[in-house]
Structure 1
């Protein structure tokens, strides 16, 4: 099963329908606002921090009203396989028949980065580094198919993995030290990341290669604060992404919040047209781009929310991920929608870019359950 599919026909149909609608209702503006609301909702993914009945009810209402198109879940959301399957399925049902399936995402790499953990009834999986060192590619596929099948049975349809970051600096606090890179060699990284993606494709889960444009040389943790790779990053860190895209093994891509003044002297990659332009234009990538968590310190502590959202969408991101992990903001979907609507109205974001994101999201969701 292949997720990386160009969707020009879908986009053409959507654009045609939009302009018919706009012409018919241009005097009232109702059609534009309705269409924009629907499309924007699909671009928003949140975490479920408040697991009280009231908190979960609010999330279900936001799903039902089309204000969010996806959720990302963490260890505190997960008790055991039966509970999380029921929880995911209940959230998906809230979207209603005829609506696009809800993205239900998890970070499940193996090693130190597992949300579905053995003590809660799930399997134990090797880290990326251990996998490349100990397993053949065929064995890696079997490991990752077991992982993906387990995640799918638990109701997930997106895995924010594998890490395609090169192990440029083994002392990198968030990649190298945690064994989250397959290798310092791009060819090896691509082989094993490719097996990860293929195994997830077979299980019906969309993998997401990360962290574009490469986090392996970073000497700080972007969860905690500003992460400058200007003096450590090199173009070779792009190679795994380029090769996986060429092979059709990039169902989706997740950005990094790394800052590189040689590419963009103002914004980190998630918010940078220059960085994501490498992905969209130089590499020709037309699939879904997820942002890394917009609550992470690298962006949260350095830019106001409006600038973060507008710049990320301008740069080419399709789905805005807001974990609610660091603190809970149940009003984020409303805030994000208002920010995007205002930016469209004043011309900072084109309606065409929103339509393109919406089409990419629908195309990816078409293969998911």
Structure 2
């Protein structure tokens, strides 16, 4: 009887084990099916996201533009909001002084106000990206923040006092590093992600009205310029601030101001002005942007076109010889050195074909604000007609995306 009882118990256990095994097998199959379903769902969602995010030609062109605007706050009806939504502009530039009204009331009032404005700009950009199924790229929010006389984030608005590059270049490297860190932290805390600085111009002509006279160069020694500029590059990048070396191929020897008209440095420029660019490009980490100057230099381009429009200077010297593969940006295209000598369509075509990736329209030096839609329309028309190769737009877009991604990760 005991044996029968044991056998019965064993049969029950065996039956339960068999049922458990079948249940486990069924569960395993169900789990596998669920995993397959999740994987297929992931692939479907990824493919939808990928193809939805594929930018149009107009969206790529829009990313090439940095635009200035009026206002210390914005809403859904503001022109700059419309430009972000409809034209997918790549960035904005903020100013304190309003050239039209000759008053200090354009975009900057206080650290808190600027922070809120920049948060608004990024929120509008993110919402536009989501609603229009664009890649989730941040807006470049830029400023000319050098210290000294070129200082949009001035102490009069409550920002820290920053000395000019010329004064900084005479201090110790430790003091300069502290100043660079303070600038980077100020930019980061108020929502900027791009500063058009450090200046690599060598102080060849101390009476230069736009560089030497304004104390915008670190030194007349290119090695010193390199040392100090490297400190700023490092502090900006570790604080997630992109930076731009300027003004290529060197504005330090000029005797005139390209804001006001034609500037020719052929007789005053020398190759030593390239040394800071060459040395900084060789560093493992450096700024991913170079600003090209509106200066004529027949030593580098015998045709006499400004560097901004010169393939010899941008594609030849900067890209090929110096091996720079970051974003090339213009100085303000509304400066008289360009605006007074070239029509808008010609200037856009020549600059993009010369190798420019981004163009600044600061809307400071004109009475009528430049509408980004007109710029996108012109560039698109030139691409459709073959006057600007579409490959040139694609190259520019890829560089812009790569730089913006470095700000995210």
Q: Which TM-score band (shorter chain)?
A: 0.7 to 0.9
- Matched pairs, number: 340
Give TM-score scaled by structure 1 length: 0.88
Tell me the distance in 2 between the aligned counterparts of 1:159 and 1:52. Answer: 21
The change in CA–CA distance for 1:328 and 1:102 in structure 2 (over 3 A counts) is farther
Task: Name the counterpart of 1:267.
Answer: 305
CA distance in 2, matches of 1:214, 1:364: 23
The residue number in structure 1 matching 2:18 is none
The reply to whether residue 62 of structure 1 matches residue 83 of structure 2 is: yes
Q: Does 1:294 align with 2:294?
A: no
Q: Is the alpha carbon distance of 1:44 and 1:220 closer, same or farther for their aligned partners in structure 2, counting shifts above 3 Å?
A: same
Partner of 2:375: 336
Q: Which moved more, 1:96-105 or 1:285-294?
A: 96-105
Q: Offset of 1:53 from its aligned partner?
A: 5.9
Contact 1:161 1:208 in 2 (8 A): yes
Deviations 1:111-154 (A, max 9, x none): 111000101010111111111112x2222111111111111111
Which structure 2 segments of 5+ residues have no match? Answer: 1-46, 97-105
Secondary structure at the aligned position of 1:290 is classed as strand
Find out whether 1:44 has 2:83 as its counterpart. Answer: no
Taking the aligned partners of 2:148 and 2:73, their CA distance within structure 1 comes to: 30
Structure 1 CA distance, aligned partners of 2:242 and 2:254? 27
Describe the shift of the 1:220–1:363 C-alpha distance in structure 2 as closer, same or farther (beyond 3 A).
same
Would you say 1:308 and 2:347 are equivalent positions? yes
- In the alignment, what sits opposite 1:345? 384
Larger-gyration structure (1/2): 2
Task: List gaps (5 residues or longer) in structure 1.
Answer: 1-16, 22-30
Q: Secondary structure at the match of 1:109?
A: strand
Give 1:1-369 correspondences, 5 Å limit: 35-49=56-70, 57-75=78-96, 76-96=106-126, 97=130, 98-134=135-171, 136-247=172-283, 248-264=285-301, 265-277=303-315, 278-327=317-366, 329-368=368-407
Q: Is the 8 A contact 1:344 1:350 kept in 2?
A: yes
Q: Deviations over 1:185-216 (max 9, x none)?
A: 11110000000110111111001110000000
Q: Is 262-271 or 252-261 further displaced after alignment?
A: 262-271
Match of 2:102 in 1: none
Moved more, 196-205 or 90-99: 90-99
1:328 Cα offset (Å): 5.2
CA 1:137–1:115 in 2, change beyond 3 Å: closer, same or farther?
A: same
- Distance change >3 Å, CA 84–CA 41, structure 1 → 2: same
> What CA distance in whole angstroms lies between the structure 2 residues aligned with 1:82 and 1:165?
33
Alpha-carbon spacing, 1:54–1:327, altered in 2? closer, same or farther (3 Å): farther
Structure-2 separation of matches of 1:200 and 1:167:
23
| 2:16 paired residue number | none
Question: Matched residue of 1:79: which SS?
Answer: coil
- Give the TM-score taking structure 2 as reference length: 0.79
After superposition, the CA RMSD in angstroms is: 2.1
Q: Which moved more, 1:60-69 or 1:152-161?
A: 60-69
Indicate if the aligned counterparts of 2:64 and 2:359 stay in contact, CA closer than 8 A: yes
